[in-house]
Structure 1
C-alpha cells in the first residue's frame, strides 16, 4: 500500500512531484494508493500496472481532472467533493466522488463509469461518446446538474436522480442537451430547460427500467447512500431524453446550395461567379488534378548499388535485363561502352566493388557480376564511320590510357598511344601475375582497341623534347603514364631493399629473380601478396609479409599466400634493414636474406617541360581532368588506385577531351544511388549457393535496382487499370493515366525495382476567378 500526505508543515507538494511519486510506486508493483491531496491535478490518470493488476486510489481534497483519461482496471474513490473535469476523457476507469462534482464532469467520457454523490456543474456530460467496440460510458449523478449539461452528447448513458432537487425548474439545468445527437439521459424531476430542437422526452420502457433497477444499488452503495434505494425506485417519476432523428429535426429553407448560388445570388454581384468549381464534391477517392499524390515512373533516374559502387559506372543491372529479354549480344556489348577490359579486369583481377553492396546480398548472395565480364571478352563494337579530323595523343598504355584511347577512337578521333614498354597494357602486362590475369585475354582486348583504330607506338620513351613535339602535333594530349617509382622510406639500410614493382616486372618478363631462402615483404596490399607468391616461385622457402596497418589485400589473395606457407604480421613498424633482416621499432628481428618493399608507387613527372600543380607527388587536375590547356590526365599519375579506378578515370578524361575538342565545357555526371527503402525484396525467393545459375543466367536473381525489369507487376496490380505498358524501339515504358489513377501508391509499393515513386500532386487547381 502506498500512502502519501502532500502537506509537510507549511510546504505543499507540487502536482508533478506527486505524479512522479505515484509512477515510481506503480513501477515497484504497488496497486493500492491512499493520497491525502491538497488540490493537485490529474490524480489517477492514464496508469496501468506492469502485470495488469487492478489499481485502487483513495483520494481526499482532489484537484482538477481527477481520473482524467482513466484506463480500465483503475478505480478512484474521492472522499468529499472534487474540482472541475472529473473523469475528463474517461477511457474505462471507475470513478466515485462521494460529494459534488465540479464543472465539466464526465466531459468527453468515452468508456467506464463515473458516480457523483452530489451535484455536478456546468457542461457536465458534454461531448460524451460511444465507440461500439467498447462498453458505453455511464455517468450517474445523485442530485442535479447545471447549465449546458450533455451539450453535443454523441453516445453513452447519463442518469440524473434529482434527489433533493425539487426546488429547481430543471434537474438538467438550463439549455440541456443542446446539439445532442446520440446517447440517453435518464432523469427524475422537472426538465424545463431542455433543448426541444434537438431532443424529445419519452416515458421509460421495460428495458430502461431493467437497466436503472440493475445499476441503482451499485451506484448508491458506492456513494454511501444505500438507504435511498426505495425513494429513487418509483419509476413513474422517471423519464428519458433522446436525440431527434434526422427526419424529426426541423429543416431550414433553401438548403440546396446549388439552387442558392445559381438563383438567389444576384448576377454580377461581388458574390456571384467567384469560383470555377461546378458545385461538385471531391470525394475521399479522387483522380486527375484532385489526387493528393501522383505516381512517377523514374526508370533509370538512380544508379543501382552495383553501378554506383563501380568506379567505371558499368550498369550491370541493364546487362542482366538485356539477357532476361534474350538480347544476348547486346548485353555482352553493353559493357564495352564503359571499359575495353571486361575480361582482363572485370572478370579477372577487379575486386568487384559492384558486388559489395548488391541488393541481392540482403536476400542471399550477390549477383555474379564479376564473372559476367568474361562473356564480353571476344565481342567487338562497330567503328564510328564519321571521323572528326582531330588528333589525340595518349602517353601511357596502361588501363587508364588505353580506356581513354578506346573511348576517343569510338568518338571518331584519331588516337595514338605512346608506350615506353615493348608491349601495351601497363601494370596489367608488366606487373600482375599471369596466374591472375591470363595473357591471352589481355592480348585479345588490346587487339580490340587497335581494331577500333587506335595506333600504338610501343617502346617509345617520352622525354621533354618528345613531349613538346607530341603536344605541337596533336589537338589534345592525355597523360596516363601511371606510377612506376616504388616508394621507399629512408630507413637505415634501405639501399639493400628490392623494389617490389621491379621484382614483379622481372617475374612477368619470364625471368627468375634471385631471392634468399627467407624473404620479408614490406606491404600487405595486393601487390605485396603478388610479390610473396612470386618469391615462392623464385625459390624462397619462407615469406613473411608485414604492414603497419590491417592488410588491404583481398582475402583470397592472403589465403593463397598462407596456403603456400607464408606468414602475415601486423602491425609491424620497421626501424632498420640489416644483413640479418628487418629490425622492428620494438627491437625484434625478422630474419631475411631478401627484403622486398611493396607499399605503393609515385609517378615519374620528369618528362613534363613545365611545372604543373602537384599534390603528394601526383598531378593535381582541375574538375575537367585538365592540368593545362589541351592536356588532360587519368589514372595513377593523378592518384594511385585500382585498375577499375583507372578505367573510370580514363573514360572521364576521354569525355573531357571530346568536350574540349568540340569547344564545350565538361562537368562529370553525378551518380545518385537508389535509396534502399525503395526496393521490395520480399518478392525474391532465397537461393542457396548450390542452386546458383551460371553468371550469364543470373538475371533470374538480379533485382534490377532502379531499372525496370519489365515484370508487369504494377500493370497487374493497379486496382483502376490506370497503367499501360508501351513497347518502344529503345525499350519498354509504363505510363499511368491521370484520368483513372487514384494515387493509391500500390504501383510504388509493389515495384521490386523501386521505379515508381509517389509525389505530392503539385498541379494547381483553379478555384477562384
Structure 2
C-alpha cells in the first residue's frame, strides 16, 4: 500500500511531484494508493499496472479533474466532496465521490461509472458519449445537479435520484438536456426547464425499472447509503428524458449549402490557399474513402490453434470444411500434402497436440481431429506429371526420412531411401508396440510412398565411405538416421542394464527377451511406458517405473501401465545397479530381477564429416535445414522428439532441398495463431460427449478458426448489402464494396471463424495540395 500526505508542515507538494510519486510507486508494482491531498489536480488519471492488476485510490481533499481520463481497472474513492471536472473524459474507471461533485462532473465521460453521494454542479454530464464498441458510461447522483446539466449529451446513462432535494424547483437544474442527441437521463422528483426542442419526458417501462433496480444496490453501497433504498425505489416517482428522433425534431427551411459556401462565403473557401475543397458534405455515415474503418477478408491469414500446435502444420480446419461441403475424397487427400502417415501417426500414436488448444473446448470438447487421420490411411495422391531429372538420397527410413522422400517425389524428383534395418519405418516399425500402431496400417502407408516413385533400399548401413559415394552420386542428400543409441548413465553396475530400445526392437521382431519376475524401468516417458507394457506381455509379475522428475509420459499411457499393476515412483535418484535391483541415493533398495533403462536416445552420426556442427551428439543446421552444400537434415539428427515433430521437420527439409535444387533460397513459413477473441463461439450449440459424432462427421462442431466456412452469415447480415460472394474452384471468396460499405463492423462481429477484420481506413484523401 502506498500512503502519502501532501502537506509537510507548512509546505504543500505540487501536483507534478505528487503524480510523479504515484507513477514511481506504480512502476514498482504498487496497486493501492491512500492520498491525503491538498487540492492537487488529476489524481488517478490514465494509469495502468505493468502486470494489468487493478488499481485503487482512496483520496481526501482532491483538486480538479480527479479521475480524469481514468482507465478500466482503476477504482477511485473520494472521501468527502470533490472539485470540478470529476471523471472528465472517464475512459472506463469506477469513480466514487462520497460527498458533492463540483461543476462539470462526468463531463465528456465515455465509459466506466461515476457515483456521487451528494449534489453535482453546473454542466454535470455534459457531452457524455457512448462508443458502441464499449460499454456505455454511467453517472449516478444521489441528490440533484446544477444548471445546464447533460447539455449536448450524446450517449450513456445518467441517474439523478433527487434525494433531499424537495427545496429545488428542478432536480435537473435550469435548461437541462439542451442539444441532447443520445443517451438516457433518469430522474426522480420535480424537473422543469428541460429543452423541449431536443428531448421528451417519458414514464419508465419494465426495462428501465429492471436497470435501475439492478444497479441501485451497487450505487448505494458504494456511497454508504443503503438505508434509503426503499425511499428511492418508488418507481412511480421516476421519469426519464430521451432525445427526440430525427423525425420528431422541428425542421428548418432547406438551405443550399453548396451555393452558400461557394457564393456567399469566402470564394474557394477560407483554406483555398492550401487545399482544393470539393464542397462535398460528408454525412455522419460515410462510404468509400471517408469511412473510419474498412472490412478486410483475411481468409487463412492466421493459423487455427490445431494447425498452429501441430508441428506438421496440418490445417485440420480445412479438412473439416471440405467434409462439410461434401468433398470427402479431397478432405482425406489434403492431409497427404503434409504427412504420408495419417493413419500410422495422426490416427494411432500421435499425442494430438492439435486438440489441446482447440477453440471448440470453450464450448464443450475438442473437435475429433486425431481420429480423422485414420480415414486417410488408404487415400492416394497422383504421381508427379513432370520430372525434374534431379536425384535425391535420403539416409534413414524413419518418419522424417520417409516424409522427406514422399514430399520430394511429389515434386518430381527421383528419390532413393537408404535404410539400415531389414524393414523401412524406423521406430514406427522397430519400436512402437503393434498394439499401438497396427503393422498393416504402416505397411499400407509405406507402400503408398513407394507407389509415389520412392525407391527404398533396406539393409544398407551407411559408413563414411558409403556416405561419400552417395554424396558424389546424388544432387542432394537428406540425413534422417534417427536416434537409435540408448543413453546409459555409468552408475556402478550399469553393465547389468538392459537397453530399452533394444528390448522394444526385439519384441517387435517377434522375439521374447528373457526377463525376471520383477522388472524395474528407469525412465517414465512414453518409451518407458512401452517398455513396461512389453515387460508385462512377456510375463513380468511386477513392473516398477522410476524417474528423477515428474513422469513425461501421456496421462493415458501412465494410466495403462498402472491398470496392469505397474508402480510409478518419482523422484527417485539411482546410485547403483545390483543383482537385487536398484539402490537409490538415499540408500533404499528397489528390488528387481531385470533393470531396463529408457531415458532417451542419441543418433549415430559417425559416418558424417567431423567438421559438421555437432552439439551433444546431434547436428545444428542452418535455418534452411542445411549442414553443408546440398546436405540437409531432419528429425532426431537435430533433436530427438515425437514422430509428428520428425514429420514436420522432414517436410521442411524436403522443401529446403527442393529450393536448393531449383537454385533458390528457402525460408520456413512462420505461423501466427489466431486470437481467440476473433471467434464467435456463441453461434455453436453445446453438445454432451455422448452426442459427439465420429471424426469424419464432426465438421459442424469445428469452428474453422481463421478459415472461411462459407456460412454466408456476413453476406446475410450486412445492412448495406455491400458484401459479395464469389464462387471459385478453390472455394468461395467474399468481397466488400467500398461504395456501399459504411464500416459498421457487423461482418467482423458476426463471423464465427474470425475471418473478417476491421482496419483503420488508410486510403489517402486527396484534399491538401
Sort the TM-score into its range (normalised by shorter chain).
0.7 to 0.9
Which residue of 68, 84, 108 maps to 2:123? 108
Matches within 5 A, 1:29-68: none
1:671 corresponding residue in structure 2: 671
Distance 1:139 1:275, change over 3 A: farther
Deviation at 1:729, TM superposition (A): 1.6
1:573 corresponding residue in structure 2: 573
Deviation at 1:768, TM superposition (A): 2.6
Deviations 1:234-280 (A, max 9, x none): xxxxxxxxxxxxxxxxx9xxx97633542357878996586444323
For 2:722 and 2:636, how far apart are their aligned partners in 1? Answer: 53
Is the Cα contact below 8 Å between 2:83 and 2:103 reproduced in 1?
Answer: no
1:460 corresponding residue in structure 2: 460
Is the Cα contact below 8 Å between 1:113 and 1:139 reproduced in 2?
Answer: no
Deviation at 1:154, TM superposition (A): 4.2
Deviations 1:557-615 (A, max 9, x none): 11111111111111111111011100111111000111000000001111124431111
2:36 corresponding residue in structure 1: 17
Is the Cα contact below 8 Å between 2:398 and 2:426 reproduced in 1?
Answer: yes
Deviation at 1:537, TM superposition (A): 1.4
1:155 corresponding residue in structure 2: 176
For 2:268 and 2:102, how far apart are their aligned partners in 1? Answer: 55
Residues 1:584 and 2:584 are matched in the alignment: yes
Residues 1:754 and 2:754 are matched in the alignment: yes
SS where residue 155 of structure 1 aligns?
Answer: coil
Is the Cα contact below 8 Å between 2:36 and 2:61 reproduced in 1?
Answer: no
2:415 corresponding residue in structure 1: 415
Is the Cα contact below 8 Å between 2:409 and 2:454 reproduced in 1?
Answer: yes
1:287 corresponding residue in structure 2: 287
2:222 corresponding residue in structure 1: none
Is the Cα contact below 8 Å between 1:72 and 1:112 reproduced in 2?
Answer: no
Deviations 1:346-389 (A, max 9, x none): 00000001011011111111111111001100111000021111
For 1:523 and 1:375, how far apart are their aligned partners in 2? Answer: 34
Deviations 1:159-199 (A, max 9, x none): xxxxxxxxxxxxxxxxxxxxxxx9499xxxxxxxxxxxxxx
Distance 1:409 1:184, change over 3 A: closer
SS where residue 660 of structure 1 aligns?
Answer: helix
For 2:650 and 2:588, how far apart are their aligned partners in 1? Answer: 45
For 1:354 and 1:66, how far apart are their aligned partners in 2? Answer: 53
SS where residue 577 of structure 1 aligns?
Answer: strand
For 1:689 and 1:484, how far apart are their aligned partners in 2? Answer: 40
Residues 1:363 and 2:363 are matched in the alignment: yes
1:50 corresponding residue in structure 2: none
For 1:377 and 1:623, how far apart are their aligned partners in 2? Answer: 32
Deviation at 1:556, TM superposition (A): 1.4
Gaps of 5+ in 1: 1-5, 21-38, 47-54, 77-84, 96-104, 116-124, 142-151, 158-181, 186-250
Distance 1:65 1:481, change over 3 A: closer
SS where residue 762 of structure 1 aligns?
Answer: coil
Is the Cα contact below 8 Å between 2:38 and 2:61 reproduced in 1?
Answer: no
1:318 corresponding residue in structure 2: 318
Matches within 5 A, 1:269-308: 272=272, 275-308=275-308
For 2:451 and 2:290, how far apart are their aligned partners in 1? Answer: 59
Deviations 1:10-57 (A, max 9, x none): 97999963889xxxxxxxxxxxxxxxxxx97779x99xxxxxxxx999
Distance 1:457 1:262, change over 3 A: same
2:737 corresponding residue in structure 1: 737
For 1:597 and 1:67, how far apart are their aligned partners in 2? Answer: 71
Q: Which has the larger radius of gyration?
A: 1
For 1:17 and 1:472, how far apart are their aligned partners in 2? Answer: 83
Matches within 5 A, 1:345-384: 345-384=345-384
Deviations 1:40-95 (A, max 9, x none): 7779x99xxxxxxxx999xxxx99879999x999888xxxxxxxx97675998777
Gaps of 5+ in 2: 15-34, 40-59, 68-77, 89-94, 107-114, 126-140, 179-191, 196-251
Is the Cα contact below 8 Å between 1:68 and 1:86 reproduced in 2?
Answer: no
For 2:459 and 2:752, how far apart are their aligned partners in 1? Answer: 53
Aligned pairs, how many?
Answer: 603
Distance 1:334 1:156, change over 3 A: closer
Matches within 5 A, 1:451-600: 451-600=451-600
1:619 corresponding residue in structure 2: 619
1:393 corresponding residue in structure 2: 393
For 1:184 and 1:609, how far apart are their aligned partners in 2? Answer: 91
Distance 1:598 1:268, change over 3 A: closer
SS where residue 727 of structure 2 aligns?
Answer: strand
For 1:270 and 1:613, how far apart are their aligned partners in 2? Answer: 71
For 1:273 and 1:609, how far apart are their aligned partners in 2? Answer: 74
2:689 corresponding residue in structure 1: 689
For 1:752 and 1:540, how far apart are their aligned partners in 2? Answer: 53
TM-score normalized by structure 2? Answer: 0.72
Matches within 5 A, 1:176-191: 183=193
Distance 1:507 1:89, change over 3 A: closer
RMSD: 3.8
Distance 1:604 1:648, change over 3 A: same
Matches within 5 A, 1:139-154: 154=175
Residues 1:429 and 2:429 are matched in the alignment: yes
Is the Cα contact below 8 Å between 1:87 and 1:114 reproduced in 2?
Answer: no
Matches within 5 A, 1:623-662: 623-662=623-662
